[in-house]
């Protein structure tokens, strides 16, 4: 069992997707603060990141950073100290070692970012009532 997360799973009713790393389910909570931190940390806009995630073009380090920030937000919300203190280097190693590796995690990150940039989440990282979790292979904005 991972030392990062031992309890509290993602809540699909709130739009929280999850990744399974080291045999442990880790929720991804795309709060306003998390999304802002992602943009600031990676120095890229969410639409650009969503497009690259959908095209499987994100680097491991960028993917790990996005996962880490969303896991921390989930950890804060669920009062899971291990998740709230996650670090990107450890998350990157867990991604590489996970079943399906980077590609599988990248598919989940693409879903989270796609819903975020199309207005599917509110600022607390919860799905808006009319939102569905259907995704396509197309970027939310072409250009």
Amino acid 133: pLDDT:
52
Give the residue-averaged pLDDT of 65-83. Answer: 91
**Quick check: helix, strand or coil at residue 122?**
coil
User: Is-contact 30 76, C-beta < 8 A?
Assistant: no
Measure CA of the first residue to CA of the last residue in the chain; give whole Å. Answer: 43
What pLDDT was estimated at residue 83? Answer: 87
Helix (H) or strand (E) holding 28: strand 24-28
Mean pLDDT (the chain, rounded): 83
Q: If you average pLDDT over residues 95-112, what whole number do you get? A: 93
Kindly list the distances between the CA atom of residue 4 and the CA atoms of 17, 37, 54, 99, 117, in Å, as whole numbers in the listed order.
17, 20, 27, 17, 28
> pLDDT at position 3, please?
38
Please tell me the distance from the alpha carbon of residue 106 to that of residue 67, in angstroms, as a whole number: 9
């Amino acid at each position: 069992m991972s030392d990062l997360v031992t309890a509290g799973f993602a809540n699909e009713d709130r739009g929280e997707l999850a990744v399974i790393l080291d045999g442990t389910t880790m929720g991804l909570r795309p709060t306003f603060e998390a999304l802002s931190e992602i943009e600031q940390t990676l120095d890229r806009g969410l639409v650009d990141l969503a497009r690259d995630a959908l095209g499987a073009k994100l680097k491991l380090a960028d993917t790990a950073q996005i996962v880490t920030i969303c896991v921390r937000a989930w950890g804060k919300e669920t009062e899971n100290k291990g998740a709230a203190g996650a670090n990107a280097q450890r998350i990157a190693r867990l991604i590489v070692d996970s079943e399906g590796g980077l590609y599988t995690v990248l598919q989940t990150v693409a879903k989270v970012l796609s819903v975020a940039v199309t207005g599917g989440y509110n600022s607390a990282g919860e799905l808006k009532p009319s939102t569905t979790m259907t995704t396509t292979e197309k970027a939310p904005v072409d250009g």
